[in-house]
Amino acid sequence: MTDFPENLAILIIDDDEVDRMTVKRHLKSIIADGNIAEAINASDAWKKIEEKQFDCIFLDYLLPDSDGLTVLTKLRNEAQYTPVIMLTGHGDERLVVDIMRAGASDYIPKEKISRETLSHSLHAALRLSLAEKEKNLAEEKLLESNKRIFDILESISDAFFALDESYTITYLNKQAEKLLLAQRVKLLHNNIFDQLNNLPDWFKEAITAATNNKQVESCEGEYQKTGKWLEAQIYPGKEGVSVYFRDITSRKQIENRLNHLANYDALTELPNRVLLMDRITQALTRAPWNNRKGAIMFCDLDRFKVINDSLGHNIGDELLKQVAQRLLECTRSGDTVARLGGDEFVIVLTDMAKIEDINAVAQKIIENISQPMQLEQQEICITASIGISIFPEDSNTPDELLKHADTAMYRAKDRGKNCYQLYSNELDARVSTRLILESKLRHAIENDELQLYYQPQVDTLSGQVKGAEALLRWISPEMGLISPLDFLPLAEETGLIEPIGKWVLETACYQTKQWHMMGFDSLRIGVNLSNRQFCQPDLVAITETALENSGLPATHLELELTENIVMQNGGNTIDTMMSLRNLGVSLSVDDFGTGYSSLAALKKYPIQTVKIDRSFVKDIPNDKDDEAIVEAILAMAKKLKLYVIVEGVETQEQCQFLNQLKCDEIQGFFFSRPIPTAEFTEYLVNNSNAN
């Protein structure tokens, strides 16, 4: 391990106590006799810096009262030579570039903090800081007095040569001896070109021009020598030439790292958007040469957010890395696989003979990705939707090709996911309509365009209204009444279902409490939950808040889940259901019979009610098979002590049939269509008077 100077004074600026303690613990193991101070914010740090001079500062990029770049800029102005090592919480390449440009000695992502990384970074920072001090000190002394010039040159960390007009070395410092691995007496009075091998042409030309008075200004450049990067600076003089050599290997390594971060995705090591656009441009440039086709594939994973939110970001990241590897396995070495961010990938195919070959690659990708993945002892399956644009047919610009592929990908999603779709002009019109609908939907809540309609749920024997199902309606001023079949899938896909669902829950609870205050205090309200809502980590808290703010008793709220939600969300399903049940909320399975579950499979879940789907009722009494199915479900439900509501009842015959089977409640057009709040209030009053 590298030795450090004694009594090093180090300041750690970080508001996170765990991160601060981790850095401090590692530093103590590296510099046992060091003095390590801590600051939890910028204000605290400045007080300590005013009181004491530090040899190195470890600075967190995010502070409660400032940001890392602001603090770093001030440090560079007020503590010029104090090296600053930035600690970052994420790998945004643009942020890292800004950090290094602002004057940081190094940066360390927090997830990579260790004894080795801290030791290496601290040693490099101290060495670079010392070198900077030495160089600046030497330059200042050089300006102050020519008498001390040789002493100064001996103290600097750069290799220095003085040459006469015949390129002969007339002076060199100790660092020059180290650079050439030879003693000074053997180098003096020898031609520099004979002593330095493999010099680049630009260096020889610059020396020649300087000694012949053809170059009146300084010249500098870089070149590699024996595995190191050197920076050469040539200064013409009246009686010869001065040459400085500086070892910039560490700087070049940092630049290479920054260049990699600027062009590659930190998680998957795939090209990012910057490099992708360059690759597409190159592919478009080469396309006319061989009269072959190319393709841009926009690949988006289906239901990735559900997996990421329910199983954790670590598993989500590992899944993305495995998907990246599978994409590489499906493509050739000359193709490009890039990650745009999130779960979006782009594949650039070049030199393809025909469209059928492109389709074959897309199908191969879909089949490969859909194979089960083993992640942290869990088997996970995911699918992908792919949109494809062909060049040069669809466009000859990178931006348009990406846009067209993205458009086609959304069409693949609309077709049911886990498939691919080629771009066509007709898709643009569909996507344009979709974007308009999405834009208007984003403002529907704030513009008071959403309404709840209510459909009564009637006791089979007494005819009394026992409950109601709250159903969302969107009435747009420009587009009129928009079908839920058009906007609810869009809300689910874009994430708008979460704020909309919260509004529905709050509004339904509030309105039901108003009906309770009117005397209908036994009324129960049913609210549907989508898969995305059910997977929200704060669903229980949102439900509890809606009940508290409205004053509605939890026992009068029933959350309706589809079979697929219950069966597809793993162990988290029971945990979430139990938390809701602990609030006192009832749970029901909506549209029962349309999925793949059975009552026997559902009995392990804390469910109180089963709602039989309307598809089993519409042909009663003409379809004996449907009658048998409904009768069997009712019989099984009674044995399992489940409450049963049948949806879609539209005729007197259907009502009588269900009454004979002693079904608990009925819902359907036979009693009422879904109606607005005022009409439902009137319906409650009339129903109460009739009974």
Listed range (237-246, 408-417, 440-449, 668-677) with the worst mean pLDDT: 237-246
Res 657: pLDDT: 87
More confident position, 445 or 548: 548
Q: What does the pLDDT look like over 20-49, one tens digit per residue?
A: 999 999 998 888 788 999 999 999 999 998
The predicted pLDDT at position 567 comes to 67
Highest mean pLDDT among 129-133, 287-291, 311-315, 370-374: 370-374
Beta strands in 323-464 (DSSP E): 336-341, 344-352, 373-375, 378-380, 383-391, 420-422, 450-459
> First CA to last CA across the chain, in angstroms?
89
CB neighbours (10 Å) of residue 179?
Answer: 23
**Are the beta carbons of 36 and 85 closer than 8 angstroms?**
no
Backbone phi and psi for residue 354, each to the nearest 5 degrees, phi listed first? -150, 165
What are 421-443's pLDDT values in tens digits? 998 877 666 666 777 788 888 88
Taking the CB of residue 479, how many other CB atoms lie within 10 A of it? 14
Q: Mean pLDDT highest for which of 94-98, 107-111, 582-586?
A: 582-586
Torsion angle (degrees, nearest 10) of CA 85, 89, 93, 95: -70
170's enclosing H/E stretch is strand 169-172
Query: What are the DSSP calls for 225-276, one per residue?
Result: ETTEEEEEEEEE-SSSEEEEEEE-HHHHHHHHHHHHHHHB-TTT--B-HHHH
- Taking the C-alpha atoms of residue 208 and residue 242, their distance in angstroms, rounded to an integer, is 12
Helix (H, G, I), strand (E, B) or coil at 582: helix
Domains of the chain: 9-135 (3.40.50.2300), 158-251 (3.30.450.20), 268-423 (3.30.70.270), 451-468+497-690 (3.20.20.450)
Within a 10 A sphere around the Cβ of 28, how many other Cβ atoms? 13
Burial of residue 658, with CB atoms counted within 10 A of its CB: 0-12 exposed, 13-18 middle, 19 or more buried: buried
pLDDT score of 222: 80
pLDDT of residue 326: 94
Residue 599: band (very low, low, confident or very high) from pLDDT cuts 50, 70, 90? low
Selection from 312-321, 368-377, 550-559 with the highest mean pLDDT = 550-559
Query: Both tokens of residue 598?
Result: 């059975």
Asked if residues 309 and 535 have their Cβ atoms less than 8 Å apart, the reply is yes
- Residue 230: pLDDT band with limits 50, 70, 90: confident
Cα gap 367→364, rounded to integer Å = 5
pLDDT tens figures, 388-400? 999 988 888 999 9
Q: What percent of the chain has pLDDT over 90?
A: 35
pLDDT of residue 691: 57
pLDDT value at position 584? Answer: 95
The predicted model scores a pTM of 0.48
Per-residue pLDDT reduced to its tens digit, 61-101: 888 988 888 888 888 888 777 899 989 876 667 777 888 88
Computed over every residue of the chain, the mean pLDDT equals 85
**What's the Rg (C-alpha) of the chain?**
36
Residue 109 has pLDDT above 80, yes or no: yes
pLDDT at 153: 76
Residue 538: C-alpha distances to residues 502, 548, 556 (Å): 11, 15, 21
Provide the token pair at 494. 């874009």
Q: What pLDDT band is residue 596 in, cutting at 50, 70 and 90? A: very low
Q: Which residues on adjacent β-strands are paired with residue 451? A: 473
